[in-house]
Amino acid sequence: MNAPSTRRALLVLLVVSGVIISLSMGLRQSMGLFMRPVTLDLGISAAAFSFSLALQNIVWGLTQPFVGAAADRYGARPVALVTALVYAGGFLIMMAAKNEYVFHAAGFLLGLGVAGTGLGVMLGVVARATPPEKRSQRVGLVAATGSLGTVLMAPIGQAFVDGLGWRAGFVFFAAVAVAMAALALLLRTESAAPDARPAAAPQRMSEALGDALRHRGFMQMTVAYFACGFQLVFIMTHLPQYLQICGVAPSVGAQALALIGLCNTVGTYLFGHLGAHYSQKRLLAIIYGLRTVFIAIFVLVPVTATTTLVFAAAMGFLWLGVAPLITGVVSKVFGFAHFNMLYGTVFLSHQFGSFAGAWMGGMVFSYTGSYSIAWGALLVIGAIAFTLQWTMDDTPPPQRAVAEPVPAVA
């Protein structure tokens, strides 16, 4: 393939991957808008609805290593196509739900859908097709687009809920997921970019996973990623209801989610750019630390529309900046032969945190009528994550000594 054709193919890959991530994350991050109308209409508790979202997150995490392994072997196109259709099916089941158990079943499908259309698979495609010197910036650029979907999905979802009801909102979300499946057909096979870093001879998947689990730094980063999911999914799920309890108009909740998405676009690209020049592990620690500081400030000051939007902007700037940095650390330490699987393993911890954050918030509110304890938990876990990430060992395992071939993917 000549140079212009290669550049066009890479451009298409970047655009399509970015749009799929954007739509997938936009749908997922707007689910909190449905909590109040669903609980009021069906008479189910906030804890029950939160469990459905928590289940989505834990299924996403549990299936991500396997979905990633499938993408390593078969390419991203068939994986993204199938999981996008599963995603749509989950929303249609939610639309028809009459009790909490149907929501739980749908949450399982949504988790599988996000696993194949979100960051884990799409960023792997981009990272493989990009030279090492440009990898962090391009992964950051594509990850940054993942927030643009929230800018659109949150206000449009709120408009559907307000004007046509929450069931119509879920139908709209299902239609967006079908559009993602169509976009997946545009993902084409790309030759992987060469990686000059010394690496090991080809390994079986089980051997690569064993190396990772024995690597102290990998485990520190994995545990720290728990805090990321815990903090962000709690905010995404419970902020709209928390604001209403504090007397802030419901529209501010949708505006806050949209602002998070908009500011995340800038923050993620910036951290991707910084990751090419500075320590990626230290940048990760800084993100965890700053998030925790901003959460503490938000809890201490009076909750108003203005303070909420300032908080949303600050958190949005730090929202997905971890994605290009973790991608960079995993590829630096372990290479690309089993990248999607290893990224999925780290991400499993994030999703355990997401499960805990979403469900914990609902349980705390259901039993105490307040979110105070939940906000306190976010602060403690954020401080632990900062410490683990700052002291992480990011050197490759010593046995990696010969050049590693990087496979072609779709």
The Cβ of residue 119 has, within 10 Å, a number of other Cβ atoms equal to 27
Cα–Cα distances in angstroms (integers) from residue 162 to residues 188, 251, 253, in the given order:
40, 10, 13
CB 357 within 8 A of CB 58: no
The proportion of the chain whose per-residue pLDDT surpasses 90, expressed as a percent, equals 17
- Torsional sign, CA 264, 385, 57, 367: negative
pLDDT band at 294 (very low <50, low <70, confident <90, very high): very high
Q: Which of 354, 375, 373 is nearest to 31 (CA)?
A: 354
Q: What is the 3-state secondary structure (H, E, C) of the chain?
A: CCHHHHHHHHHHHHHHHHHHHHHHHHHHHCHHHHHHHHHHHHCCCHHHHHHHHHHHHHHHHHHHHHHHHHHHHHCHHHHHHHHHHHHHHHHHHHHHCCCHHHHHHHHHHHHHHHHHHCHHHHHHHHHHCCCHHHHHHHHHHHHHHCCHHHHHHHHHHHHHHHHCCHHHHHHHHHHHHHHHHHHHCCCCCECCCCCCCCECCCCCHHHHHHHHHCCHHHHHHHHHHHHHHHHHHHHHHHHHHHHHHCCCCHHHHHHHHHHHHHHHHHHHHHHHHHHCCCCHHHHHHHHHHHHHHHHHHHHHCCCCHHHHHHHHHHHHHCCCCHHHHHHHHHHHHHCCCCHHHHHHHHHHHHHHHHHHHHHHHHHHHHHHCCCHHHHHHHHHHHHHHHHHHHCCCCCCCCCCCECCCCCCEC
3-class DSSP string for 166-198: HHHHHHHHHHHHHHHHHHHCCCCCECCCCCCCC
Question: Mean pLDDT, the chain, as a whole number?
Answer: 80
The pLDDT, as a whole number, for residue 5 is 60
Instruction: Give the separation between CA 159 and CA 356, rounded to whole angstroms.
Output: 29
Amino acid found at 390: W
| Choice among 218-222, 258-262, 382-386 with the minimum mean pLDDT | 258-262
290-294: average pLDDT: 95
User: For residue 306, how many other CB atoms are within 10 A of its CB?
Assistant: 12
The contacts of residue 359 (CB under 8 Å, 6+ apart) are 47, 50, 51, 54
pTM to 2 decimal places? 0.71
Q: How confident is the model at residue 19 (pLDDT cuts 50, 70, 90)?
A: confident
Q: How many of the other CB atoms lie within 10 Å of CB of 303?
A: 17
pLDDT: is 352 or 254 the higher one? Answer: 352
Residues 172-193 as b/e (b if ≥16 CB within 10 A, e otherwise) read bbbebbeebbebbeebeebebb
Contact 401, 310 (CB under 8 A): no
pLDDT digits (tens, 9 = 90+) for 320-374: 788 888 888 887 888 776 777 888 888 888 878 877 887 788 788 888 888 889 9
C-alpha separations of 373 from 225, 257, 351, 362, 369 in Å: 21, 22, 21, 11, 10
Name the nearest CA neighbour of 207 among 324, 337, 84, 44.
337
What was the pLDDT predicted at 197? 45
Say if residues 259 and 240 touch (Cβ distance below 8 Å): no
268 is written with which tokens? 């993620």
Over residues 288-313, mean pLDDT: 92
pLDDT beyond 80 at 67: yes
Render pLDDT for 162-217 as a digit per residue (tens, 0 to 9).
Answer: 788 888 888 889 999 999 999 988 887 554 444 444 444 566 777 777 778 888 88
Contact (CB, 8 A) for 238 and 361: yes
Give residue-wise pLDDT tens across range 140-169: 777 777 667 767 777 787 788 878 888 888
CATH architecture observed for domain 3-390: Up-down Bundle (1.20)
